[in-house]
Amino acid sequence: MSTHASHKKRTGLMDWLTTVDHKKIGILYLLSGGFFFLIGGLEAILMRIQLIKPENDFVSAEMFNQLLTMHGTTMIFLAAMPIIFAFMNAIVPLQIGARDVAFPYVNAVGFWLFFFGGVLLNMSWFLGGAPDAGWTAYAPLSTVSAGHGVDFYVLGLQIAGAGTLAGGINFLVTIINMRAPGMTFMRMPLFTWASFVTSGLILFAFPALTVGFFLLMFERVFGAHFFNADMGGNVLIWEHIFWIFGHPEVYILILPAFGIISEIVSTFSKKRLFGYSAMVFATVLIGFLGFMVWVHHMFTVGLGAVANSIFAVATMAIAIPTGVKIFNWIFTMWGGQIRFTAPMLFAVGFIPTFVMGGVTGVMLSVPAADYQYHDSYFVVAHFHYVIVGGLVLGLFAGLYYWYPRMFNRVLNDTLGKWNFWLFFIGFHLTFFPQHWLGLMGMPRRVFTYMSGQQLDTSNFVSTIGALLMGAGTIVLFINIIISASKKNIASADPWDGRTLEWAMPVPTPEYNFAQTPLVRGLDALYVEKTAGNGKMTPAEPVGEIHMPNGSILPFIMSVGMFISGFGFIYANWYAAGGGLGIVLITMFLRSVIDDHGYHIHKEEVEADIKGGRA
């Protein structure tokens, strides 16, 4: 092919800056999400040290407000979301038998926007103070907050959010259009299903946040009065907009974890998932109901009995499809040949922990009772049970499970178990006492408390638990370093997998599948294993493979956004306009430069197959 000549092979740093390969973008997401996870964790530990004893003065009240805001914001937007995108990138195209996502270039744009948005937000630490209005940035607290902290919040998250939206759309299109022959919707692995529904939620929920951020930005930067009651605005509008986004967001977070747990429970029980179609239906239903419940975060603002009741019933309804999932996991394990490897341990730990978070959720969904719980540590306990006990355990499970596919190494199982037990025990020590703290009246988001209110012991235990969770995370990093220092490559299918991501050798060839596989049932690889051939039947002859070229433009475009973000924060219109100018120029270049990608020749593919590399 003539286009082949135009292909430059890049190496080293330049390769990572220009890559459009979903596998590499997945690793980039994982590394940067992991980095922000460490920062968010550090902020949490600092807060817990401050709260270890009454009237402590380890950090100041102002510092505490910044820590709590940045902890929540970082963990949700810069750690959890990107790590979810890491697994979606690394695994979904493989699971559906595709060679890449539908829009590899947009995928890179999405990553770099997230990355620079996150960096912008964290620059606030060094430039006069971080945002301090809570991750929810309620007006008027956020509109009157002094300094530039909240401006960093608005602009940083706006840029990162644009990247997330791009990623969500990309995965919707990928899953709809790029499935291999025979991969019908009802044969898709549950992680792919969860990614699909999560992407749909992103598509519908993030625009609300984008609009909200624009309103807040106009209020802070240009002096508008959307949320200023003195000027005819309404503070409640921010709250509504935030939670119209915010509740779907919590399901954006948890659904992929549900997907990961489904894969792992089925693989390590050596059984197909119990009630597959019920699982799919429950996932879709949870996604749909997730949009009808946002007012449960606002029961106490005085919307009236009717509004509160409607949203209470809708909220309780979500417990039903969630319960269906719990039972299906248990029935999947029932009578299975269970192997308690590290990923399975995390998955099994996930189930009861998440149930506890769900139960407190249903308690909170009763408006009359919520008047008691609201804004207390009880809510803090609830959402950490679902987010840490749910999502984070799910992400750890996924990391141990897919690590061999992503990094060609297996993590040490014994260290993995240490990681699990330290983290799991630490987690319950940290958050279980917070239920009591809340019921005894300790409000959330306070930087200290008085002694003699019987809050001392529980707070002390909670801090010790947090340190144990930190220790568990350190074990994970030791494990990663050890595995990286060893030379032995993982086997292609270390867990006796059931789905397509285990159907190619390690390292995964850059084109994933030398020949697009023919899918003949649910758990496509397992179908072939039981049929006796042990590997996928190809759906096409060996041929040329078309690949997209890498590009530095997504990186430059995101730098442009970063500069313009700074411009808006400091009301420097040259920087704001200049940054947007860079964005426009990169868009223009992308539109006028014809780039048809390149082809991998049939002979190369054949050589790869012969050499066991594909």
Partner 1 sequence: MADHQQKSDKTVHRHEALQKKLALKEERKHHNVSFIMMILLTLVAFYAISSDKIGDSFAVMFILVLAVVQVFFQLYIWMHLSHKGHEFPIWGMASGILIAAITVASLMGMIWTS
User: How near is the Cβ of 384 to ligand HEM at its closest, in Å?
Assistant: 8
Report the residue from 101, 318, 553, 583 that binds ligand HEM according to the rule CB under 6 A.
318
365 binds ligand HEM (CB under 6 A): yes
- 87: region left, alpha or beta (phi > 0 left; psi from -120 to 50 alpha): alpha
Task: Give the number of C-alpha atoms closer than 13 A to the C-alpha of residue 372, restricted to the C-beta side.
Answer: 11
User: How near is the Cβ of 299 to partner 1 at its closest, in Å?
Assistant: 12
Q: Which residues make beta-bridge pairs with 517?
A: 538
Structure tokens at 58: 């380890």
Closer of 15 and 375 to ligand HEM (Cβ) = 375
Residue 75's binding partner out of ligand HEM, partner 1, Cu ion, none, with CB under 5 to 8 Å set by partner kind: none
Residue 362's binding partner out of Cu ion, partner 1, ligand HEM, none, with CB under 5 to 8 Å set by partner kind: ligand HEM
User: How near is the Cβ of 445 to partner 1 at its closest, in Å?
Assistant: 25
Report the residue from 254, 500, 545, 547 that binds ligand HEM according to the rule CB under 6 A.
254
Report the residue from 48, 382, 409, 435 that binds ligand HEM according to the rule CB under 6 A.
382
568 in Cβ contact with 221 (< 8 Å) = yes
C-alpha 49: how far from chain center: 27
C-alpha 599: how far from chain center: 33
User: How near is the Cβ of 577 to ligand HEM at its closest, in Å?
Assistant: 36
Residue 506's binding partner out of Cu ion, ligand HEM, partner 1, none, with CB under 5 to 8 Å set by partner kind: none
Provide DSSP, 114-132: HHHHHHHHHHGGGTT----
Instruction: Report the alpha-carbon angle 496-501-503, nearest 5.
Output: 65
Closer of 110 and 200 to partner 1 (Cβ) = 200
Q: What is the dihedral of CA 161, 185, 180, 189, to 10 degrees?
A: 70
Which residues lie near partner 1 (CB under 8 A)? 172, 176, 200, 203-204, 208, 234, 236-237, 240, 244, 288, 291-292, 295, 303-304, 307
d(CA 175, CA 194): 11
Residue 254's binding partner out of ligand HEM, partner 1, Cu ion, none, with CB under 5 to 8 Å set by partner kind: ligand HEM
User: How near is the Cβ of 602 to partner 1 at its closest, in Å?
Assistant: 30
383 binds ligand HEM (CB under 6 A): yes
Residue whose C-alpha is closest to residue 296's, from 238, 221, 246: 246
Query: Which residues, other chains included, contact 458 with Cβ-Cβ below 8 Å and sequence gap of 6+?
Result: 433, 434, 436, 437
297 binds ligand HEM (CB under 6 A): yes
Residues touching ligand HEM, count (CB under 6 A): 25
Closer of 200 and 517 to partner 1 (Cβ) = 200
384 binds Cu ion (CB under 5 A): no
**In degrees rounded to 5, what are phi and psi of residue 546?**
-85, 130
Provide DSSP, 291-302: GG-GGGG-GGG-
Site for Cu ion in 227-286 (CB under 5 A): 247
- Kind of pairing between the strands at 598-600 and 537-538: unpaired
Report the residue from 180, 364, 388, 525 that binds ligand HEM according to the rule CB under 6 A.
364
User: How near is the Cβ of 464 to partner 1 at its closest, in Å?
Assistant: 43
508 in Cβ contact with 406 (< 8 Å) = no
Q: Which residues make beta-bridge pairs with 60?
A: none
User: How near is the Cβ of 393 to partner 1 at its closest, in Å?
Assistant: 30
User: How near is the Cβ of 283 to ligand HEM at its closest, in Å?
Assistant: 13
User: How near is the Cβ of 471 to ligand HEM at its closest, in Å?
Assistant: 24
Closer of 198 and 512 to ligand HEM (Cβ) = 198
H-run or E-run covering 72:
helix 61-73
Q: Which residues make beta-bridge pairs with 545?
A: 600
User: How near is the Cβ of 596 to partner 1 at its closest, in Å?
Assistant: 24
H-run or E-run covering 413:
helix 413-439
H-run or E-run covering 598:
strand 598-600
Structure tokens at 47: 């807060």
Closer of 248 and 343 to partner 1 (Cβ) = 248
Residue whose C-alpha is closest to residue 387's, from 354, 360, 352: 354
Stretch that binds ligand HEM, among 13-21, 191-199, 301-309, 355-363 (CB under 6 A): 355-363
> Which single residue is written with the structure tokens 């144990």?
468
Residues touching Cu ion, count (CB under 5 A): 1
Comparing every residue's Cβ against ligand HEM, the nearest one is 361
Closer of 38 and 303 to partner 1 (Cβ) = 303
Closer of 3 and 234 to partner 1 (Cβ) = 234
Structure tokens at 595: 């780039």
Cβ neighbours around 421 below 10 Å, total: 15
Closer of 391 and 527 to ligand HEM (Cβ) = 391
User: How near is the Cβ of 194 to ligand HEM at its closest, in Å?
Assistant: 13
Query: Which residues, other chains included, contact 536 with Cβ-Cβ below 8 Å and sequence gap of 6+?
Result: 500, 503, 517, 518, 524, 525, 528
Name the site residues for Cu ion (rule: CB under 5 A): 247
Name the site residues for ligand HEM (rule: CB under 6 A): 136, 250, 253-254, 296-297, 315, 318-319, 322, 358, 361-362, 364-365, 370, 373-374, 379, 382-383, 386-387, 390-391
